[in-house]
Structure 1
Amino acid sequence: MTSLDGLDGKVAVITGGARGQGRSHALTLAGAGAKIVVCDIAAPIDEVQYALATSDDLEETIQLVKEAGGEIAGMQADVRSSADMRAVADLAVSQFGRIDILLANAGIHDHAESTIEIEDDAWQTMLDVNLTGAWKACKAVVPAMIEGGRGGSIVITSSVDGLGVSPSWGHYGAAKHGLQGLKDTLAFELADYNIRVNTVNPTGVNSPMAAGLSKVLPHVVRKWKHNDRTNLLDVMMLEPQDISDAVLWLVSDAAKYVTGIDLPIDAGYLTKH
């Protein structure tokens, strides 16, 4: 039997790691033996209506991993900046000598009454962070993976909204659908280097993002009479650890022949819809 704990000696880069799913991923992979490099913008973005992570949140993630006995380095970085993403990759290589895993996890959410009512700046920011940001993270990290000659694993955080309909936040859905295409193309192109590329596609997750959106989303969700956002299984939202467990499997040798897939951790949401 292949162990899911066999990440000793491997180095994982995690974007959006200051809190929520990113923090959970950092703790989970560190617990499995990986060295962690975490980054986050840790600052407000004008078009985002809820509070984003802070530098204190990022420092807390770093301290939590250290307290758990893990090795970690971190920095503030914006996935919209190619220079920032190169700096993160450089930090990983200079600190730990290699990169084996990338979790392109950074993302934002938003809503509007309808897709045609989304403001231009809000649309562009959503795509810049959620789609282009994942691409820039991959672009920065993949050369180090290839140079290492050991293969690697990339997990991109998408959503059930990357595989289905997303009324009231069409820009979010468009960005997440785009991630599915990015994943497929990278999986094809990087297979010769034994670099695997997959997405996780969660339903709602109990995170600071969800808490920040909860004050405004019920109204827009109820606007559409066929828009039932509940899951098939009897759970309203998943916990970040539920997603981390799936990520751990994808980056482990237990999934060494798994590439190009979308993995719903959705409590049956997509089956129901």
Structure 2
Amino acid sequence: MAGRMDGKVVFITGAARGQGRAHAVRLAEEGADIIAVDICESIPTVTQYGGATPEDLQETVRLVEALDRRIVAEQADVRDLARLKEVVRSGVAELGRLDGVVANAGIEIFKAWDKFTEQEFRDVIDVNLVGVWNTVMATAPVLVEAGHGGSVVLISSGNGLKGGPFNLPYTASKFAVTGMGKTFAAELGKHRIRVNTVHPGPVDTDMSRHISPLFGEIAAGNEHLLSTYAHFHPDSVMDPVEISHAVLYLLSDESTWTSALALAVDGGVTAY
């Protein structure tokens, strides 16, 4: 069924590659116009994989425009609330409205609990948690003022429902996003704004491609910690579009009575 997002405009963070790009393209396929942001640079403490680039963001633009949809794409750090507000204002001025939000940007640093520096811990929390709060604070007032409701999707993680070893600040941030989503849903419901969290399992992105090989190295002597992660879908990792299908549902009018939901798309990882 095509056209499920016809006439809608969606703001997406972390849109230069990975899940963010997949969300932008999938929503554009269904008729949405996009306001896209990404930091488009590496964060110094994140050394296990590189950040997206301006060229990555331009590729997202190309893919959306190839679907004959409009896109406003800007470099922005989700830790910078003022900058997010600026991009939202300019995007809405150009595209005419705002209907949906996908707080997708996130980082991960993978190491044992006692190896994290204070700066590493703070950077993960600032991007993954404060950045999500900033995203909602930059967009929800626009939705409230417009008065036509809307949908906000916060990308958490399977680790936002079930703790996991070797990524302590990531897990802490994603659990917090889960709770924040439920609180926002309770308070924004009176404005017909629904808020839900999505909890991906293993997804084929630049981040996971570089993090996954570290499991064996870091888990040496702690293999028992990984035992509950051995029961998941036999294909191991998902194409990011599998998460985009869930995001599409939550942003479309098919989910008008769905709010405060923690939706796991994880091949069963969180079932054990």
**TM norm structure 1:** 0.95
Deviates most, 82-91 or 194-203: 82-91
- 1:48 matched to 2:42? The reply is no
Please give the residue correspondences for 1:61-100 in structure 2 after superposition, counting only pairs within 5 Å. 61-100=60-99
Identity across the alignment (%): 37
Structure 2 residue identity aligned to 1:71: R
Paired residue secondary structure (1:184)? helix
Asked whether the 8 Å contact 1:231–1:266 carries over to 2, the reply is: no
SS in 2 for 1:259: coil
Distance 1:43 1:221 in 2: 29
Across the aligned residues of Structure 1 and Structure 2, the Cα RMSD in angstroms comes to 1.3
Among candidates 164, 167, 190, match of residue 166 of structure 1: 164
Q: How far does the alpha carbon of each residue in 1:197-237 deviate from its partner, in whole angstroms, 9 at most, with x for none? A: 00110101001111222343332245342313334321211
1:146 maps to: 144
| Structure 2 counterparts to residues 87-126 of structure 1, below 5 A | 87-113=86-112, 115-126=113-124
Q: What are the residue-to-residue correspondences of 1:222-233 with 2, within 5 Å?
A: 222=220, 223-228=222-227, 229-233=229-233
Aligned to 1:216: 214
Does the residue aligned with 1:227 lie in a helix, a strand or coil? helix
- 2:124 aligned counterpart, secondary structure: helix
Give SS of 1:75's match.
strand
Task: Read off the aligned partner of 2:124 and give its amino acid letter.
Answer: M
Task: Give the conservation status (yes or no) of the 8 Å contact 1:4–1:254.
Answer: no
SS of 2:127 mapped into structure 1: helix
User: What is the alpha-carbon distance in structure 1 between the residues aligned to residue 34 and residue 230 of structure 2?
Assistant: 34
Q: Gapped runs of 5+ residues in structure 2?
A: none
Cα distance in structure 1, aligned partners of 2:29 and 2:258 = 22
Task: Classify 1:96/1:231 alpha carbon distance in 2 versus 1 (closer, same or farther; 3 Å).
Answer: farther
- Structure 1 distance, partners of 2:2, 2:148, is 18
The worse-fitting range, judged by mean Cα deviation, of 5-14 and 37-46 is: 5-14
The residue aligned with 2:205 is 207
Per the TM alignment, residue 65 of structure 1 is displaced from its structure 2 partner at its CA by 0.7
Aligned residue for 2:224, secondary structure, equals: coil
The answer (yes or no) to whether the contact 1:11–1:92 under 8 Å persists in 2 is: no
User: After superposition, what is the alpha-carbon deviation per residue over 1:145-166, rounded to whole angstroms, capped at 9, x for unaligned?
Assistant: 0111110000011000000111
- Counterpart Cα distance in 1 of 2:218 and 2:242: 27
Determine the structure 2 residue equivalent to 1:194: 192
Go from structure 1 to structure 2 and tell me whether the alpha carbon gap of 1:4 and 1:129 turns closer, same or farther (over 3 Å shift): farther
Q: Structure 1 residues 18, 123: CA separation in 2 closer, same or farther (over 3 Å shift)?
A: same
Question: Between Structure 1 and Structure 2, how many residues are aligned?
Answer: 269
| Distance in 2 between residues matched to 1:165 and 1:201, nearest whole Å | 12
Letter in 1 for 2:130: T
Q: Secondary structure at the match of 2:226?
A: coil
The answer to whether the Cα contact below 8 Å between 1:80 and 1:132 also exists between their aligned partners in 2 is: yes
Residues 12 and 103, structure 1, Cα contact 8 Å, conserved in 2: yes
Q: Quick check: 2:165–2:225 contact (8 Å CA) kept in 1?
A: no
TM-score with structure 2 setting the length: 0.95
The 1-side partners of 2:255 and 2:156 are apart by 19
Distance 1:138 1:30, change over 3 A: same
Q: Deviations over 1:112-165 (max 9, x none)?
A: 12x233110000000000000000010000111011111000001100000011
